Structure 1
Amino acid sequence: MNAIISASELAGELAGPRPPVLLDVRWQLSLAKAAGEPPFDGRAEYAAGHLPGAVYVDLDAELASAPGERGRHPLPDLGEFGAAMRRAGVSAGRPVVVYDGGQGWAAARAWWLLRWTGHPDVRVLDGGLPSWEGDLETAAPAPDEGDFEPKPGEGLLDADGAAALARSGVLFDARAGERYRGDVEPIDRVGGHIPGAVSAPTTENVGPDGRFLPAEELAERFASLGASDDREVGVYCGSGVSGAHEVLALAVAGIPAALYVGSWSEWSADPSRPVAVGPDPQ
């Protein structure tokens, strides 16, 4: 099953006999507080206009637990996550489509969490809300309670697992190159990367319109960075959000990959963990 869906395909499914549950996960990483600007308000954006029938999901409150030693967006409590998904109408036997404002990172986080906890049919709207040409609505729906019960699955890395995979397989760093190199670090304690990790910014997986590159191009890109059939692949980023977008890109390319959810925000918070700087993995 494809991990993404186009706006035209989604319109067709919404008009069909088995429409998917729609989740609006608008969110963005913002340094507005430090700059004295108001933070991004995904709920307000949702209220101003969303896909018909879509339910808003708060990434910080429902797709992550409170920031701390495990990173800025650690895994949510699965009981609370399941309750949030059921309130949104998510059931195991009904397809789900998630979207955000176009960057794709937040939608990918929801996609990854649902897939990791066992939902069999979840996709991301390629290009997000800007790709949608149909009508929007402002009223919040009241969906019937879903029955989805999340269970942890495979494809999750902790800090030790990420370090080991950087040696035995390939570990992609999905952040911007300047953060990987340690040239700048606007958020976390220190810049740099996990020793052995390969720089693979997730922004290079999409075109100017925010849609993913064709599967063949993505496969070629990841192969050039070291992914192959005989190597395990993992991904991390700053806090497990943009890294989920890279895992999604890898899925489009037909490459299974694990996610280190704690990512650099967890790794760099521990001064005892090694930090590599510069353009080379080591």
Structure 2
Amino acid sequence: MTHLVSVAQLLHLQRSAEHGAGPAVRLLDVRWRLDRPEGRPEYVRSHLPGAVYVDLEHELARRGQPEEGRHPLPESVDLERAARGWGLSDGDIVVGYDDNRSVPAARLWWLLRRSGIDARVLDGGIRAWVGEGLPVETGDVRPAAGNVSLHHHDDDVSLNHDGVSLNHDGVSLNHDGAFDVLEIEELGDFIEHGVLLDVRTPEQYNGTRTAGAPVAGHIPGAVNLPAMVAVASDGRLQHPDVLRRIFASAGVDADTVVGVYCSSGVAAMHSVLALEHAGIRARVYPGSWSQWSNTRGKPVAVGILPSGRLTTV
């Protein structure tokens, strides 16, 4: 299943839609950075024609308590309401993009794919579009409301032996068996039989930088592989062959049980996108370090080794 689209592929999808030979294509602009979370000013100044702005902080996350992490997953009903506000209808293809190496766009992709929507990421984002000499527009696009119905994940689910979410009738909730979450209570057992990737910077991992967390370090047993090693110098994801070599350096291949976390559950979803692009299934721990470091009694490892020097929150 396609997760990334190039500029040429996006243009092809749009032409097909215009000629009635394919589904409608909806462009969503997810401009966001940790140091500048409100991306609407940049969007208003310049965006792909017809693109609708998505507010990551308020539409792709919900306000929660510190012990839930900085960016808790939105409730399904709230995400559906937001998606209809973006003009999405059933059957649409959604292409998200940003100006930050596809990190925030990957959060949109993960949430919508998990909810049964054909969502993709424009590889290289707005810079790739502009680099092809294609037009941009200014102002704010306010679409007519759509009628999309998202799959709701708020009911209790179980996992089968392959890590696929099942409802009470044993029916798969994921179209391709991916996009499952790791809860904080699962991590101890998970590390015993899988690889947990910490995709923050080495300084955050080894404990020399806190980045706003109450304590510094990493989850004991986690392996450090910074998210940005998956990105080429032009802002696009590395070729799948290159990605497979990168992940192999951390002990991960297509047969590995993999979990991913970051600071607050945004960059982790970008790493899941990179893993999917390499043909490797992974689960994300949405609470990430912002939840773990706010949970009393949790162990913390400090240093460059997965085991590290242990302390507690």
- What is the TM-score of this pair, normalised by structure 1? 0.92
How far apart, in 2, do the equivalents of 1:83 and 1:146 lie? Answer: 9
Which residue of structure 2 lines up, in the alignment, with residue 25 of structure 1?
30
Deviations 1:14-52 (A, max 9, x none): 22223411111100011xxxxxxxx45311111111111
Q: Which runs of 5+ in 2 are unaligned?
A: 154-172, 174-178, 308-313
- Bigger RCO (CA 8 Å, 6+ sep): 1
How far apart, in 1, do the equivalents of 2:188 and 2:114 lie? Answer: 21
SS in 2 for 1:122: strand
How far apart, in 1, do the equivalents of 2:2 and 2:188 lie? Answer: 30
The Cα shift of 1:277 comes to 1.0
Contact 1:88 1:146 in 2 (8 A): no
- What is the TM-score of this pair, normalised by structure 2? 0.84
The Cα shift of 1:231 comes to 2.6
Contact 1:72 1:239 in 2 (8 A): yes
Deviations 1:156-205 (A, max 9, x none): 11112233222210110111111011111121111111111110100100
Give the alignment of 1:139-218 within 5 angstroms.
Answer: 139=139, 140-152=141-153, 153=173, 155-218=180-243
Letter matched to residue 278 of structure 2 = A
RMSD, aligned CA: 1.5
Contact 2:244 2:253 in 1 (8 A): no
The alignment covers a number of residue pairs equal to 273
Contact 1:155 1:258 in 2 (8 A): yes
Which residue of structure 2 lines up, in the alignment, with residue 92 of structure 1?
90
Contact 1:180 1:279 in 2 (8 A): yes
Q: 1:177 to 1:92 in 2, by over 3 A?
A: farther
Q: 1:52 to 1:141 in 2, by over 3 A?
A: farther
Q: Which runs of 5+ in 1 are unaligned?
A: 31-38
Mark the structure with the bigger radius of gyration: 2
SS in 2 for 1:157: coil
Letter matched to residue 215 of structure 1 = P
Which residue of structure 2 lines up, in the alignment, with residue 71 of structure 1?
69
SS in 1 for 2:303: coil
Percent identical residues:
44
The Cα shift of 1:270 comes to 1.3
Letter matched to residue 127 of structure 2 = P
How far apart, in 1, do the equivalents of 2:80 and 2:37 lie? Answer: 25
Deviations 1:40-88 (A, max 9, x none): 5311111111111111110000000014220000011211111000111
How far apart, in 1, do the equivalents of 2:304 and 2:144 lie? Answer: 49
Letter matched to residue 63 of structure 2 = A
Which residue of structure 2 lines up, in the alignment, with residue 34 of structure 1?
none
1:42 and 2:39 matched: yes
SS in 2 for 1:132: helix
